Amino acid sequence: MKIRVLGSAAGGGFPQWNCNCHNCQRIRNNTMNGRTRTQSSIAVSTDNFNWLLFNTSPDIRAQLEAFPAIQPKNGIRDTGIKAILLMDSQIDHTTGLLMLREGKPLEVYCTEMVKQDLSTGFPTFKMLADYCTINHHSIPHDGSSFEIPGINDLRLYTQALKSKAPPYSPHRHDPHDGDNIGVIIEQISTGKKVFYSPGLGEIEPHVLHALQTVDCLLVDGTFWTEDEMVTQGISQKRAREIGHLPQSGAGGMIEVLNGVSQARKILIHINNTNPILDEDSNERKQLDAAGIEVAYDGLEIDL
């Protein structure tokens, strides 16, 4: 199984277009040891030809152009994208659907709650009806498995996570199972598994089980501290309030991952304010010491 990180940043990317925070200012001025990043998405394949795309960020066009394996190879119009699985209905994970409107109908797999959001509050599915159209396939959120036609040798297990629907959602303040999911991706022939969860606000029992039973983790790395946005004067919202478990502190992601020994551990969906983007920072050194990696655009993982 090959996993390609198309984008590794949280919403807004890095640097964010209107941000002058400590990180964004320095990366623009080339005074920071770090990498620019687009908004988070991954692609997975077992044959390096047919790809399952997880989320479609607003940066999807640039991400696809940077990835030859998924580009057109046969005929006038073609793509290596055989299907798309949406983890949630957040703008930074779904707006890219609009960039894919010139092609054939899109085979989109998501929960019923995500479908509702993308048919009402942000009616992307309806908007695309006059372009490529969307073929929606409902997926479970109770941990049961399913396979996707055209994506051979791959089995998926999706499970609901505690998080919030987007601000535009009709049920923003009325959470439902399926607003946000995590997924275990398994190659059937080898048994190798990866757990992907770019939005993870709480380590529930089924999440802990997933962390302990896979070979690779690609999990939420949005914020370093609970009050990161507050202390930098950017927002009054705290990490857990918007559905993200910070890395540091009691019960944080570092502590959680320290209890997982067998898996390769990689953080993804990094916010532009997070000090781990500075590869010379003390925070990055703490991750290095803990054996935790930080995803970057173009990272390829072979399992």
**Which pLDDT value is given to residue 57?**
97
Tens-digit pLDDT profile for residues 69-117? 999 988 889 999 999 999 999 999 999 999 999 988 999 999 999 999 9
Reduced to 3 states, what is the DSSP secondary structure of residue 298?
coil
Predicted pLDDT of residue 210 = 95
- Strand ranges across the sheet with 264-268: 142-146, 154-160, 181-187, 193-197, 216-220, 264-268, 292-294
For 146, list phi and psi in degrees, rounded to 5. -160, 165
In the structure encoding, which two tokens stand for residue 222, read together? 């949005």
Contacts of 10 (CB under 8 A, 6+ apart): 39, 40, 92, 222, 269, 270, 271, 272
Q: Dihedrals φ, ψ of 76, to 5°?
A: -70, -40
Q: Write out pLDDT tens, residues 33-66.
A: 999 999 999 999 999 999 999 999 999 999 999 9
Confirm whether pTM is higher than 0.85.
Answer: yes
Residue 135: predicted pLDDT: 97
- CATH for 2-298 (3.40.640.10, 3.40.50.1580, 1.10.1060.10, 3.60.15.10): 3.60.15.10
Residue 224 C-alpha from the chain's centroid: 17
Pairing verdict, β 2-7 and 41-45? antiparallel
- Return the domain boundaries, the chain: 2-298
Polymer length in residues for the chain: 303
Over the chain (303 residues), what is each successive 10-residue block's mean pLDDT?
Answer: 98 96 97 98 97 98 97 90 97 96 94 96 95 96 96 97 85 88 98 96 94 96 91 84 90 95 94 98 97 98 96
Res 192: pLDDT: 98
Listing DSSP states for 23-34 in one string gives HHHHHHTT-SS-
pLDDT for position 35: 98
Cis preceding-peptide flag for 15 (omega within 30 of 0)? yes
List of residues 6+ apart from 173 with CB closer than 8 A: none
E strand residue ranges, the chain: 2-7, 41-45, 51-54, 81-85, 106-110, 134-138, 142-146, 154-160, 181-187, 193-197, 216-220, 264-268, 292-294, 300-302
Closest CA to 185 of 142, 219, 223, 147: 147
Q: Which residues contact 147 (CB under 8 A, 6 or more apart)?
A: 154, 155, 156
Angstrom distance (rounded) from CA 273 to CA 126: 35
Residue 135 contacts by C-beta under 8 Å, 6 or more apart in sequence?
105, 106, 107, 108
- Cα–Cα distances in Å, from 239 out to 63, 109, 128, 233? 27, 28, 33, 14
Look at residue 109 in the predicted model and tell me its pLDDT.
Answer: 98
Tell me the β-bridge partners of 66: none
89 CB neighbour count, 10 Å cutoff: 27
Outline where 158-301 has alpha helix (H).
205-212, 228-231, 253-258, 282-290
